[in-house]
C-alpha cells in the first residue's frame, strides 16, 4: 500500500554512536547510490555522530538526503570543551538538529531549560530543530504520560517566535521504547500524536506541526505508524544504522 500522495512523509535516521567516520561515509554512500533523488514529498535526513558529521555531509551534499546534528550547544564559540555549537553545525552544512533526545535528557541530564536554549539557538542560526519528547516507563505507569509531554512541550516552545518559513518538527519518542525493541503500539502513538498536535497548535497557532514517531521502529513495523493520520514519519535509531534495514525501511516510503 502506498502513502496518500498529498501527505509529505519524513524518514529521519539517528545514527547515534553506532557508526564511526568511515562507517558513516560508507552508509551515506549506500544511500546516495541507491537513491540519487527522492520525491519532494519525502524528507530523508541522517544524523551522524559529531565526529562523522563532515564525512557524511561531504558524501550527501549534492543529494536529496539532508544531514543533521544529534545535539548542539547554544553558545556560538568559546571554552566549552567537548561541545559543538549550533552555529558550527550550520556552517558545516547541517539543516536539522535533534534537540532534547531522550538519551541526552536521561543519560546526560539535559533539562527542559537546556532544551529551550537549544531550540532558540537552532532557530536563530537557521537550523530546523527536531524536538524530542516522551515519557519514561515509570511516568507512564503512574499515569503521567500526557502531563510529562505537555511540560516538555511548553518548556521547549516558551516565548519562541517561530520563523514562518521553518518547519516545526516534533518526535514523540517514549523513553521505554527507545533502543529497547519494545515499540509503542501504533494506535497509542497515534493518540499521543493527536494530543501533541493539539498542544503545539495551542502554543504556536500559526504553525502546522510535523510529528514523527520514534522508538524501536523496524522494517516490519514501520507501516503501522505511517498509516496513522497524525504520524507524519519516523525517527529511527538502531535499524537505520545498518545498510540492509536502512534500505528496507526506506523502501516502505518509496514503494
**C-beta of 58 vs 245, nearer to ligand PGA:** 245
Enter the DSSP assignment of 185.
P
CB 231 within 8 A of CB 209: no
Residue 3 makes CB contacts below 8 A (sequence gap 6+) with: 9, 226, 253
Q: Of residues 27, 46, 115, 236, which one binds ligand PGA by CB under 6 A?
A: 236
Q: Is 237 in the site for ligand PGA (CB under 6 A)?
A: yes
Check 101, 103, 110, 135 and give the catalytic one: 101
List the grid coordinates of 214.
Answer: 520514534
Q: Of residues 114, 120, 139, 173, which one binds ligand PGA by CB under 6 A?
A: 173
Q: Of residues 50, 145, 238, 252, which one binds ligand PGA by CB under 6 A?
A: 238
Q: Is 135 in the site for ligand PGA (CB under 6 A)?
A: no
CB 168 within 8 A of CB 208: yes
Residues contacting ligand PGA: total by CB under 6 A: 13
Please give the residue whose beta carbon sits closest to ligand PGA in the complex: 237
Q: Helix, strand or coil for residue 213? A: strand
Query: Distance of alpha carbon 126 from its chain centroid, rounded?
Result: 16
List the grid coordinates of 122.
Answer: 537552532
- Let me know if 83 is a catalytic residue: no
User: Please, what is the minimum distance in Å from the beta carbon of residue 37 to ligand PGA?
Assistant: 25
Q: Is 235 in the site for ligand PGA (CB under 6 A)?
A: yes
Q: Of residues 93, 126, 179, 194, which one binds ligand PGA by CB under 6 A?
A: 179
User: Please, what is the minimum distance in Å from the beta carbon of residue 81 to ligand PGA?
Assistant: 25
Enter the DSSP assignment of 163.
P
- Let me know if 101 is a catalytic residue: yes
Residue 100 makes CB contacts below 8 A (sequence gap 6+) with: 110, 112, 114, 115, 118, 131, 132, 133, 152, 156
Q: Is 48 in the site for ligand PGA (CB under 6 A)?
A: no
Residues with a catalytic annotation lie at 101, 173
The residues binding ligand PGA (CB under 6 A) are: 14, 173, 178-179, 214-217, 235-239
Amino acid at each position: 500500500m502506498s502513502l496518500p500522495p498529498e501527505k509529505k512523509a519524513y524518514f529521519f535516521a539517528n545514527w547515534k554512536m553506532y557508526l564511526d567516520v568511515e562507517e558513516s561515509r560508507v552508509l551515506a554512500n549506500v544511500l546516495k547510490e541507491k537513491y540519487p533523488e527522492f520525491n519532494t514529498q519525502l524528507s530523508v535526513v541522517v544524523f551522524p555522530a559529531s565526529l562523522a558529521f563532515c564525512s557524511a555531509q561531504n558524501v550527501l551534499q549534492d543529494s536529496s538526503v539532508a544531514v543533521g546534528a544529534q545535539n548542539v550547544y547554544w553558545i556560538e564559540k568559546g571554552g566549552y570543551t567537548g561541545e559543538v555549537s549550533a552555529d558550527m553545525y550550520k556552517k558545516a552544512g547541517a539543516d536539522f538538529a535533534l534537540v532534547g533526545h531522550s538519551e541526552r535528557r536521561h543519560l546526560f541530564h539535559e533539562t527542559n531549560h537546556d532544551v529551550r536554549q537549544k531550540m532558540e539557538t537552532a532557530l536563530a542560526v537557521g537550523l530546523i530543530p527536531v524536538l524530542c519528547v516522551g515519557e519514561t516507563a515509570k511516568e507512564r505507569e503512574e499515569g503521567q504520560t500526557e502531563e510529562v509531554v505537555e511540560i516538555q512541550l511548553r518548556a521547549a516552545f516558551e516565548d519562541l517566535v517561530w520563523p514562518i518559513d521553518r518547519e516545526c518538527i516534533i518526535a514523540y519518542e517514549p523513553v521505554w521504547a527507545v533502543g529497547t525493541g519494545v515499540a509503542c503500539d501504533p494506535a497509542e502513538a497515534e493518540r499521543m500524536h493527536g494530543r501533541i498536535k493539539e498542544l503545539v497548535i495551542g502554543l504556536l497557532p500559526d504553525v502546522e506541526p510535523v510529528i514523527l514517531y520514534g522508538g524501536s521502529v523496524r522494517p516490519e513495523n514501520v507501516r503501522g505508524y505511517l498509516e496513522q493520520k497524525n504520524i507524519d514519519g519516523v525517527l529511527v535509531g538502531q535499524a537505520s544504522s545498518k545498510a540492509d534495514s536502512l534500505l528496507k525501511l526506506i523502501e516502505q516510503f518509496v514503494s
